Structure 1
């Protein structure tokens, strides 16, 4: 029997029923619009309900090892087979550490350094701070970041207590021209710092930044070699943040309390220094409103201040005078052109300044060529009628003169 559904058997004048085709309930443009709308809703919800105040900012993970509190006697007691000693039963805190990258805006060079986290155990005030060897405990005050300098109850100041010049040296310096050399940027790069400590004459003052992985150990080595120590405090340059001195930089955009808090972090990084010096900071040191509280805080803690001389507009000198604190300003940078010939010329200019005015100060970095030329120059300096002295000796002579 013929299939009545084929075209030949269909009566004339009647159209066959059309075949049903599957159709999507929406068009492709409609689907794309729904997908994009869903993504937008998810993004807006994330922004509104994700309470992350640092969203989008660079982040660093800090590993903090939890130590046994001194109060937990059961955990602090050593095994019976272990001899009991102060070192065995006392738990020392181990601060959290993080790696930061310092970028030089002028050259684009990057340098990774490891520093203690600002929120370590010592920051909370719950752990006993570690004191460096040879530090007078009377000259320390506990802050939320650790121990920072203070004037002793009897009036003794860190500036005097940690000065390396003797009374005999100061008496001799009063009778002849003197030069103080300050080598800065130390603490970042242990090998470079160790070379400066061991190869430079003891009368050369060493300035440490707060960013080394263990600055206290290097400062102890420097003090053991009779070098006088300065702490370089990172301050805002004009091209900040393209040229970033590092974490906890003092900024003109911050309030007084914030900058003082950052200063305390720097002050706690190591101990035994006679004063502060600016690390960069052309914009900051020229702004009296932000610089004055820093100078006042340093003076209150018995410290001196060295201006590196790189900014003619610096107000540090007049502010320090108002606080009656020891102050000095560098006359020139010895290795602005880091070649042996130019360094020798700069040292010769420094001698001429000292003979003309009675005292002069030169700044340098710890480049191998700088360390080598300063060491060679210093050997015959006194035979030429000029004395190499620590920075505090130059400061006291200039003040008395």
Structure 2
């Protein structure tokens, strides 16, 4: 089949199209010259894209789908209110500016709600305890400027005018009453956030809490005081198997120079504002070494603090050296969780009650383990109904001859 040279499909490039040629006319002549068989064969050989081009030739929009719609705005009837979205914006009336958003600590402090979180995290990854304190006995604010002096490591406790001691000012007042008395010191607080929070909110406020000097201990101790617990700080002391058992940095050592141990002790005492005194953290070796222990107790006395031996070390010299140095000191007679099992802890609590009835007063200690906290909290719920009073540890330190009474019980 031969096609004229003016056909758009066969005309060589560069050859001008006839003057009277139009798209519609050219297509008409092309259709007339092609027989149906040729058309069908040619269409079958065309690629899909080329076929589509043929179908849309003559459409100025290239075959794009289109529609036409008329949009007319009508006024709302006079008797119908305009929608809120159609109203013109109004100028805001003059009103006091809202207060700036406060930090979480400021909100907690203002509301009295306590929130415990793991250190260094905004979102809790461990157990979180939220509780509004209902404290009947408020402890004195700490630190009190009258009982503080600057030291190399920060604020240090001191005896104030009139022989006012931190032990006296920061202690929880003993509530009036009669009958057998029990004091419990819970040690090891501050290193585990969940256990610390649990002890603070679950245990009666008469239970005294001893904090490890490490980490963000100052805030945790302040929270404990908000809930009515008096607090102590633990001194890392050398055990017999040191360094296999290591209390941590700043440990007081029997072989260290006196000036070195004094500096480490100063660091410990600067860690917890409002502490009534010190307690041992390990120390089975140092607590039996008079040369290393005596300077510690002399400093405790000079600073107006007390010292509690948690009762875990054998052959302790605290009671005898306390009399020599005139340091307020006491030793726990019973370690409640020496065997960390529920039935063993319950048995020691029962023994504690029996000794309190026999002696009138007993001091016990325990570690801040979840099981211990749960068993002590359960035991203490109806203690008053059983005729026994729970009192703070400061009752042992401020009672005349308390150390002597405990030393006979060793």
Match of 2:21 in 1: none
Secondary structure of 1:335's match? coil
Match of 1:163 in 2: 171
Q: Is the 8 A contact 1:178 1:394 kept in 2?
A: no
Q: Give CA-to-partner distance per residue, 1:111-145, whole Å, 9 cap, x none.
A: xx99xxxxxxxxxxxxxxxxx96321111111111
Distance 1:333 1:165 in 2: 24
Secondary structure of 1:265's match? helix
Distance 1:334 1:318 in 2: 24
Deviation, structure 1 residue 188? 0.6
Q: Among residues 202, 205, 216, which one is paired with 1:202 in the alignment?
A: 205
Distance 1:149 1:223 in 2: 17
Q: Among residues 122, 127, 137, which one is paired with 2:145 in the alignment?
A: 137
- How many residues end up aligned between the 2 structures? 268
Superposed, which structure 2 residues align to 1:210-359 within 5 Å?
A: 210-212=213-215, 214-359=216-361
Match of 1:66 in 2: none
Q: Is the 8 A contact 1:330 1:361 kept in 2?
A: yes
Match of 1:180 in 2: 183
Deviation, structure 1 residue 155? 1.2
Q: Is the 8 A contact 2:209 2:232 kept in 1?
A: yes
Distance 1:133 1:327 in 2: 24
Q: Is the 8 A contact 2:252 2:261 kept in 1?
A: yes
Distance 1:325 1:382 in 2: 32
Secondary structure of 2:243's match? coil
TM-score by length of 1: 0.64
Gaps spanning 5+ residues in structure 2: where? 1-98, 100-118, 121-139, 406-410
Deviation, structure 1 residue 312? 2.7
Q: Give CA-to-partner distance per residue, 1:22-65, whole Å, 9 cap, x none.
A: xxxxxxxxxxxxxxxxxxxxxxxxxxxxxxxxxxxxxxxxxxxx
TM-score by length of 2: 0.63
Deviation, structure 1 residue 382? 1.8
Deviation, structure 1 residue 364? 1.0
Structure 1 residues 269 and 290: CA distance shift in structure 2, 3 A: same
Q: Is the 8 A contact 2:318 2:331 kept in 1?
A: no
Match of 1:385 in 2: 387
Secondary structure of 1:369's match? helix
Distance 2:272 2:363 in 1: 25
Distance 1:188 1:346 in 2: 25
Match of 1:189 in 2: 192
Q: Is the 8 A contact 2:142 2:170 kept in 1?
A: no
Secondary structure of 2:275's match? coil
Match of 2:156 in 1: 148
Distance 1:224 1:137 in 2: 19
Q: Give CA-to-partner distance per residue, 1:325-365, whole Å, 9 cap, x none.
A: 32111011111222221111110001111111111111111
Superposed, which structure 2 residues align to 1:61-80 within 5 Å?
A: none
Match of 1:77 in 2: none
Secondary structure of 1:373's match? helix
Secondary structure of 1:148's match? strand
Q: Among residues 373, 376, 382, which one is paired with 1:374 in the alignment?
A: 376
Q: Give CA-to-partner distance per residue, 1:241-275, whole Å, 9 cap, x none.
A: 11110001000011111100000011111211111
Deviates further, 389-398 or 306-315: 389-398
Deviates further, 280-289 or 332-341: 332-341
Match of 1:16 in 2: none
Structure index of larger Rg: 2
Deviation, structure 1 residue 397? 4.0
Secondary structure of 1:274's match? strand
Gaps spanning 5+ residues in structure 1: where? 1-82, 84-112, 115-131
CA-based RMSD: 2.1
